[in-house]
Structure 1
């Protein structure tokens, strides 16, 4: 992901009001983020723990969404819809996002199960276990990175659907 600054972050949201964007709190350690190692920027608002944000590049433009974390945690051991990690070391949480435009004003939302700490970029960069003799672990990792980007972009595209 290309580096992004605070101004571009605030301008990227498709489903947030001006007030919600002005109330946004940047993630802790924002200045230290290694953008070469992430496929999207996702964080829980440190001052509003049920509010989260996700931003990635779609067709060369930054696109972001305001997310709402479900009140209850997922009880069963669910799989993250974005990184599809089957060896999860962290929790998965249901996040919903109000759709953009008239649909969102009517109350329409979309939802997805995502790693609670938004650690998908780290998860997909781990070498997968050897599935069989001759299994190309590096290729499998590269494909997981590509699929993560596709899943996040597809979720953000759903804001306009």
Structure 2
């Protein structure tokens, strides 16, 4: 799979300059997965790729503020994991198409490292509390659904 081709809200040039995490560049993403990573060469950039059963993967380029994450404990909108100070960040994604070229964006509070799948499967601790009352499989399915809805918002025509 070519992750760069999956990025829907940036130019071909921006996508070609995207620094892929080594584990993303090395293999195919199974259906139903949500994969995210921060660009090690440009920490304000991040990427989120969602694969759905029977569909091509769709990815979005994200921007984070240079100041860091939320100062207090906060919940990730994607995996619904409550995390400690600085571990959740407000990311902005340009809308796809003409709306994005005009500067329209949508935002999401997400795990600062964008590794929501790992957070979803983690054991609860003082600084990491996954969505309670659900099995890990249920949490992963809900993560895929919410991440897919966010990507759909990026693709939607702005009102």
Q: TM-score interval w.r.t. the shorter chain?
A: 0.7 to 0.9
Larger gyration radius, structure 1 or structure 2:
1
- Are the counterparts in 2 of residues 90 and 117 from structure 1 also a CA contact under 8 Å? no
TM-score norm. by structure 1 comes to 0.78
Counterpart position of 2:116: 120
59, 67, 74: which one aligns with 1:78:
74
Counterpart position of 2:153: 158
- Tell me the secondary structure at the aligned position of residue 67 of structure 1: strand
Structure 1 residue 62 corresponds to structure 2 residue 84: no
Partner Cα separation in structure 2 for residue 151 and residue 56 of structure 1: 10
Q: Aligned-pair RMSD on alpha carbons?
A: 2.7
- Are the counterparts in 2 of residues 83 and 123 from structure 1 also a CA contact under 8 Å? yes
32, 40, 55: which one aligns with 2:34:
40
Unaligned runs of 5+ in 2: 126-132
- Aligned length in residues: 147
- Tell me the secondary structure at the aligned position of residue 90 of structure 2: strand
